[in-house]
């Protein structure tokens, strides 16, 4: 049995990237493991959020977790801000981090570049808070998308640094990538990852998009002009991205896809990709509609926070003693 932790930010509408890279793996792990899944709302405020929207998206994200198959009897689902040990340990991890290593993070560089001269310090301190999220639960495995590799490396570095300085308190966690390390790219700029905060809505398939919108977006996805369904990330990033998406939702290999579409053009292929995506998302959308208004959603989150807090408090107490933060 492993201890599993992962989180998603309520920083926008969830995307197909979030689902294929992370969410769909969560429910696969809940049998036989001790799983903690979190709505990381304190990470979301590292860039400005509109309060009412943040509140609403926090609840929506919890409903999506459940709609995607998470069973609260098996896994603990909770909201980060309801377990204060996350930010408390986050501060301690910040004191152990070096500015240089934080400035090297790709996510920091990308997000800071959009903020001009007013870069929120929280953007820089994002990885130590993420390390705290994970380390509080003595996590063994963290199922995340391939874009989170760098943050996982820093989490491991911080855990090792702490253990070396203050004694063995933390388990060193491993990253668990999804099938083929799926990284879904933007439909309009296929060299950039699909992201929930992308301002161009046509570049992103949202989990709750209507089927006709999904079809429209995939049909308009940027591709090349040679009309051959062939996997080549460098020369044909757009079509390769659609092949990755198709492979992920149908379990077909790239070779099988190339063979099946050898004498068919992009039009037919895109239609089939759209249909396959819709058939995976439609049942999730139906369950989401049932969950979002259900009173038991609040009960699930309250109980989840209690369970998470009980576990987090044990680790945090050890940390306080290890570093002398007690009377």
Query: Tokens for 163?
Result: 């253990």
CB closer to ligand AQP, 193 vs 322: 193
Q: CA-to-CA distance for 60 and 180, rounded, in angstroms?
A: 28
Block residue for tokens 């874009």: 147
Instruction: Work out how close the CB of 17 gets to ligand AQP at its nearest, in angstroms, rounded to a whole number.
Output: 3
Q: Which window, 140-148, 223-231, 263-271, 284-292, contacts ligand AQP (CB under 6 A)?
A: 140-148
Identify the DSSP state of 178: -
Instruction: State the catalytic residues.
Output: 111, 193, 196
Question: Could you tell me the sign of the dihedral formed by the alpha carbons of 324, 6, 97, 197, in that order?
Answer: negative
CB closer to ligand AQP, 49 vs 163: 49
Q: CA-to-CA distance for 241 and 185, rounded, in angstroms?
A: 6
Q: CA-to-CA distance for 211 and 278, rounded, in angstroms?
A: 6
Among 30, 148, 241, 315, binds ligand AQP (CB under 6 A): 148
Q: CA-to-CA distance for 109 and 116, rounded, in angstroms?
A: 11
Among 3, 4, 22, 187, binds ligand AQP (CB under 6 A): 22
Q: What angle do CA 101, 21, 239 make, to 5 degrees?
A: 105
Instruction: Work out how close the CB of 31 gets to ligand AQP at its nearest, in angstroms, rounded to a whole number.
Output: 20
CB closer to ligand AQP, 20 vs 322: 20
Block residue for tokens 């439609």: 282
In a 10 Å sphere around its CB, with 0-12 CB exposed, 13-18 middle and 19+ buried, how is residue 244 labelled?
buried
Assess 8 for contact with ligand AQP (CB under 6 A).
Answer: yes
Instruction: Work out how close the CB of 323 gets to ligand AQP at its nearest, in angstroms, rounded to a whole number.
Output: 28
How many residues are given for the chain? 327
Assess 9 for contact with ligand AQP (CB under 6 A).
Answer: yes
Q: Which window, 6-14, 119-127, 242-250, 313-321, contacts ligand AQP (CB under 6 A)?
A: 6-14
Q: What are phi and psi of 133, to 5 degrees?
A: -50, -45
Q: End-to-end distance of the chain based on CA atoms, in angstroms?
A: 36
Instruction: Work out how close the CB of 118 gets to ligand AQP at its nearest, in angstroms, rounded to a whole number.
Output: 18
CB closer to ligand AQP, 82 vs 260: 82
Query: Tokens for 61?
Result: 């994200």
Sheet holding 34-39, edge to edge: 75-79, 34-39, 3-8, 141-143, 174-176
In sequence order, what are the residues at sequence separation of 6 or more whose Cβ sits closer than 8 angstroms to the Cβ of residue 31? 74
Instruction: Work out how close the CB of 164 gets to ligand AQP at its nearest, in angstroms, rounded to a whole number.
Output: 28
Among 3, 18, 63, 215, binds ligand AQP (CB under 6 A): 18
Contact 314, 170 (CB under 8 A): no
Assess 21 for contact with ligand AQP (CB under 6 A).
Answer: yes
Q: Which residue is nearest to ligand AQP (CB)?
A: 21
Binding positions for ligand AQP, 117-136, rule CB under 6 A: none
CB closer to ligand AQP, 125 vs 322: 125
Binding mask 178-197 for ligand AQP (x = CB under 6 A): ----xxx--------xxxxx
Contact 121, 152 (CB under 8 A): no
CB closer to ligand AQP, 172 vs 176: 176
Instruction: Work out how close the CB of 277 gets to ligand AQP at its nearest, in angstroms, rounded to a whole number.
Output: 14
Residue of 36, 27, 39, 40 lying closest to 71 (CA atoms) = 27
Q: Report how many residues bind ligand AQP under the rule CB under 6 A.
A: 22
Q: Which window, 132-140, 176-184, 262-270, 292-300, contacts ligand AQP (CB under 6 A)?
A: 176-184
- Please give the residue ranges that form the binding site for ligand AQP (CB under 6 A): 8-9, 11-12, 15, 17-18, 20-22, 144-145, 147-148, 182-184, 193-197
């Amino acid at each position: 049995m492993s201890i599993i932790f992962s989180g998603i930010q309520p920083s926008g509408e969830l995307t197909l990237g979030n689902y294929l890279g992370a969410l769909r793996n969560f429910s696969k792990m809940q049998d036989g493991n001790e799983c903690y899944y979190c709505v990381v709302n304190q990470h979301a405020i590292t860039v400005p959020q509109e309060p009412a929207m943040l509140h609403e998206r926090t609840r929506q994200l919890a409903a999506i977790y459940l709609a995607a198959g998470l069973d609260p009897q098996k896994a603990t689902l909770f909201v980060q801000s309801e377990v204060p040990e996350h930010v408390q340990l986050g501060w301690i991890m910040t004191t152990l981090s070096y500015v240089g290593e934080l400035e090297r993070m790709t996510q920091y560089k990308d997000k800071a570049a959009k903020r001009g001269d007013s870069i929120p310090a929280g953007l820089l301190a994002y990885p130590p808070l993420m390390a705290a999220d994970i380390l509080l639960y003595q996590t063994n495995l963290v199922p995340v998308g391939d874009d989170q590799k760098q943050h996982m490396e820093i989490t491991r570095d911080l855990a090792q640094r702490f253990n070396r300085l203050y004694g063995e308190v933390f388990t060193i966690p491993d990253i668990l990538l999804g099938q083929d390390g799926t990284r879904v790219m933007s439909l309009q700029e296929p060299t950039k990852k699909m992201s929930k905060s992308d301002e161009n809505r046509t570049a992103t398939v949202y989990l709750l998009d209507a089927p006709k919108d999904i079809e429209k977006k995939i049909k308009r996805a940027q591709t090349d002009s040679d009309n051959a369904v062939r996997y080549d990330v460098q020369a044909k990033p757009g079509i390769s991205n659609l092949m990755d998406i198709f492979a992920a939702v149908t379990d077909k290999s790239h070779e099988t896809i190339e063979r099946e579409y050898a004498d068919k053009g992009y039009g037919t292929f895109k239609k089939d990709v759209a249909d396959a995506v819709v058939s995976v998302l439609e049942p999730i959308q139906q369950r989401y509609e049932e969950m979002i208004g259900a009173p038991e959603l609040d009960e699930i989150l309250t109980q989840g926070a209690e369970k998470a807090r009980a576990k987090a408090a044990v680790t945090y107490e050890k940390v306080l003693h290890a570093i002398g933060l007690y009377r």
